[in-house]
Amino acid sequence: MTQDQRRGLAPLLAGLAMFGPFAIDTMFPAFPEIAREFGANEWLMQQTLSAYLIAYALMSLFHGPVSDTYGRRGVIVGSVVVFLAASVGCALAWSIESLLFFRVVQGISAGAGQIVGRAIIRDLYEGPAAQRLMSNISMMFTIAPAVAPIVGGWMLGLGHWRWIFWFLVAWSVVLLVACLWRLPETHPRERRVPLSVRELVKSYGGMVRDTHFWPLAIAGTVNFSAMFLYISCAPAFVMEQLKLSEQQFAWLFVPAVSGMFLGALASSRLAGKYDARKTVGLGYIVMLCASALNVVLSAWVLPHPMVPWSVLPIGLHAIGISMSFPTIALLVIDRFPTHRGGASSMQSFVALVFNAVLAGAIVIYLSDSATKLALGSATLTVIGFVAWRVYRRVAKRDALLARAGGAVV
């Protein structure tokens, strides 16, 4: 792989990872209009998100292992083609049922860029260099959640809600051309492992039995879920609680994404200077302080939700999330060096299933109150902190046992 290809890798992988937030966030401003056209209630509209996430989660179990067997490039290119076709289907949907079907197809294909992209990073880099690249991609990736609802609002203001999905079609075409032109194959044939149901079950079984996997997977999942809680109920939070219009979703997404960008920048700068324990620990200090501030403002200080005060803690929280995520993600992948794609898939599967349940079954009970949302977000953050502390204890114990075993030998 040439130096020129390496320089272009970060923006390309970031663009591929943007499929997820673009497919989620661009349609939020159009929820009321889609509901009116198809006669759909609030629960059905929420399923356009949860159905997408469930499909995304289930397919995420296969993106990584398939790339471990057949290579990274082909999996990504094929997924972009499927996402493009599904976006055309969404744009031409004739009922809420047909829209849900094509959202499922979008979900099946949208995760390959992000999941396989993590494996590509570990194919090429190790240690601080891998953390820096992961953080740099996160900085570029964070543009998507801020831009997506704004673009959706513009499309809605200029024309029909279907324009939002035609925008996704155009985005897919651009990325398909970029992949065919610039995406290298980083997983050579001699490193590939055979794909079989038995081996897949065996490798995933080993992961779920690993004492390090679950604390790390839970920490990484609920950290982001604390903010995803607000993202998944964005139409209710922005338009009903903050009393803003379809074109003003930026009040929620710009602070959140700015925080994600600053956190990723901090993680990149800390790579090689601080170890994983300190980097993630700093992230949790920020997240716990932001959670406490959010609860205090929503429950006791503000008479009703208002900008900018109701969204500033969300932006602060995002800094901590993005500071800790690259390190936690790499710790999971590094546990399984011969199945990096599979490890990335399993990590994503856990997060996506949880967020699908959160979006489809839990958010609807919290979205009517800023205080409920703040308490829910704080609870998830505390769970993540406890999981990280459990991981630290397990890792310390295993290191002591390994040293003791070496001394005996």
pLDDT value of residue 405: 65
pLDDT value of residue 9: 75
Q: Give CATH for domain 3-404.
A: 1.20.1250.20
- Helix runs in 96-237, H state only: 96-110, 112-124, 127-141, 143-158, 162-182, 197-209, 213-232, 234-235
pLDDT value of residue 100: 93
Q: Which residues of 248-275 are buried (b: 16+ CB within 10 A; e: fewer)?
A: bbbebbbbbbebbbbbbbbbbebbeebe
Closest-CA residue to 77 (of 186, 187, 172, 7): 172
pLDDT value of residue 53: 80
Question: 274 forms bridges with which residues in the sheet?
Answer: 271
Residues of the chain with confidence (pLDDT) below 70: 1-8, 131, 138-146, 405-409
Domain ranges in the chain?
3-404
- C-alpha triplet 233, 349, 357: angle, nearest 5°: 35
Q: Which amino acid is at 397?
A: R
Condensed to tens digits (0 to 9), the pLDDT of residues 266-285 reads 887 887 777 778 889 999 99
pLDDT value of residue 199: 77
pLDDT value of residue 92: 94
pLDDT value of residue 141: 64
| Percentage, residues of the chain above pLDDT 70 | 93
User: Rounded CA gap, 103 and 56, in Å?
Assistant: 10
Q: Which residues of 277-316 are buried (b: 16+ CB within 10 A; e: fewer)?
A: eebbbbbbebbbebbebbbebbeeeeeebeeeebbbbbbb
pLDDT value of residue 409: 43
User: Rounded CA gap, 409 and 394, in Å?
Assistant: 23
Please check whether residue 332 is in contact with residue 14, taking contact to mean a CB–CB distance below 8 angstroms: no
